[in-house]
Structure 1
Amino acid sequence: MTHSIKILDQNFVLHPLGGVFWIDRSLLLISDVHLGKVNHFRKFGAAVPRKAIHKNFVLLDKIVADFEPFQICFLGDLFHSSLNKEWDLFENWVAKTPAEIILVSGNHDIISPEKYKQLHIEIFPEMVIDDFLLTHHPEQRKGHFTFCGHIHPAVKLRGFGRQRLRLPCFFKSKNQMILPAFGEFTGTHTLQPNKEDEIFAIVEDSVVKV
């Protein structure tokens, strides 16, 4: 189940896979997919099942099918490191995806821009659309609301007794929303909200405000 939210009179939908769909622009925002990480782990001996390599592409297909966006903007760390076999899978995915694809570069995006150019993917250090700033690292900029990633945010919830639950989340402050990591095997970083923050936790297949 998705969760709808309005920011600066614009309409957005938070998806339980971790993406944000900007309805008015038909723009899908996704952060921190870290493609290639599974192969990177396997290269150094980690016992990660080979079938896990395809999981991110299955999830990407699902969220694109749910929204059918005109554009997809990856907010950094699309690939985890240097080129490996997952680039071929990415090329195939791009070829069958009708949306225009944009990359706002993150600290892990070290693959040559020429490789993206061959796939007709433009790369930007950041993007400003109306009063919205799209970037990888969290940034507070006067007069703008920021969508970003990098942190892989999670929140700790307390249950009955000594129950503790840590869930990935969309972490919204007054002028910024940090998206959860989209990719598998990315890990999370627990953030402590204050009274003004809004937390939208991902609970199984739903986005729930907590």
Structure 2
Amino acid sequence: MNLNIKIKDQDFVLHPYGATYWPEQEVLLVADVHLGKVSHFRKHGSAVPLKATSRNFIKLDQLRKEFDPEHIVFLGDLFHSSLNMEWNMFEEWVESIDNRVHLIAGNHDIISPLKYEALDIKIYSDVTVAGFHLSHHPVQLKDHFNICGHIHPGFKMRGNGKQLLKLPCFFRSQNQMILPAFGEFTGNFFMQPEEGDRVFAITGKEVIQIN
């Protein structure tokens, strides 16, 4: 189940997969997919199921069907490292869709820009639109609200019986929202909210606002 929030009089739909849809701009925002990480693990002997390589594309297609965005903006670390078999899967996916794809480059995005140019994908260091600053790394700006990735935010939910549940989350502070990592096997950095911060944990099926 999605969760709708407002930021600076704009609507944002938080999805259980960790992506965010911005209706006013017809933009789907996705952070830290880390395509190729599954293949990287398998190459180095990790017992990761081969079908996990297609999981990210299945989720992206489900988001496309649900929101029908004009633009898909990846907020950095689209690929985990250098070229491998998942680049071919990505090429086929891009050529099969009619959405405009953009990449805000992250620290893991080392694949040649010429490869993206051949797919008509533009690469940016950051983008500012309608009072919002889209970036990979978190930045603090006085005049713009920052939407970013990079951190892979997570939250530890503790129960009365000493249960502990670790979940990815959207992490919103006064002038910033950090998106969870979208990709499989990416891990989390567990946040310590301060007064005024908001945590929206995701389970894959719902988004839960943590008080």
**Structure 2 length normalisation: TM-score?**
0.98
Cα distance in 1 for residues equivalent to 2:178 and 2:137: 9
Cα distance in 1 for residues equivalent to 2:111 and 2:22: 28
Cα distance in 2 for residues equivalent to 1:204 and 1:85: 26
Partner of 2:197: 197
Query: Amino acid of the residue matched to residue 85 of structure 1?
Result: M
Partner of 1:44: 44
Q: How large is the Cα RMSD of the aligned pairs?
A: 0.7
Alignment of 1:129-208 (within 5 A): 129-208=129-208
Query: Amino acid of the residue matched to residue 141 of structure 2?
Result: R
Stretches of 4+ aligned residues off by more than 3 angstroms: none
Q: Deviations over 1:153-208 (max 9, x none)?
A: 00111102211111110000000000000001111110000121011111340011
Partner of 2:73: 73
111-120 vs 59-68, greater mean Cα deviation: 59-68
Cα distance in 2 for residues equivalent to 1:204 and 1:139: 27
Partner of 2:102: 102
Cα distance in 2 for residues equivalent to 1:18 and 1:170: 7
Partner of 2:28: 28
Asked whether 1:121 is paired with 2:121, we answer yes
Q: Is the 8 A contact 2:17 2:204 kept in 1?
A: no
Aligned residue pairs, count? 210
Cα distance in 2 for residues equivalent to 1:40 and 1:115: 19
Asked whether 1:111 is paired with 2:116, we answer no
**Structure 1 length normalisation: TM-score?**
0.98
Cα distance in 1 for residues equivalent to 2:12 and 2:113: 30
Cα distance in 2 for residues equivalent to 1:86 and 1:167: 26
Cα distance in 2 for residues equivalent to 1:151 and 1:9: 26
Query: Amino acid of the residue matched to residue 76 of structure 1?
Result: G
Cα distance in 2 for residues equivalent to 1:203 and 1:59: 14
Shift of 1:142: 1.3
Identity %: 56
Q: Deviations over 1:114-160 (max 9, x none)?
A: 00000000000000002100000011111010000001000111102
Structure 2 regions of 5+ residues with no counterpart?
none
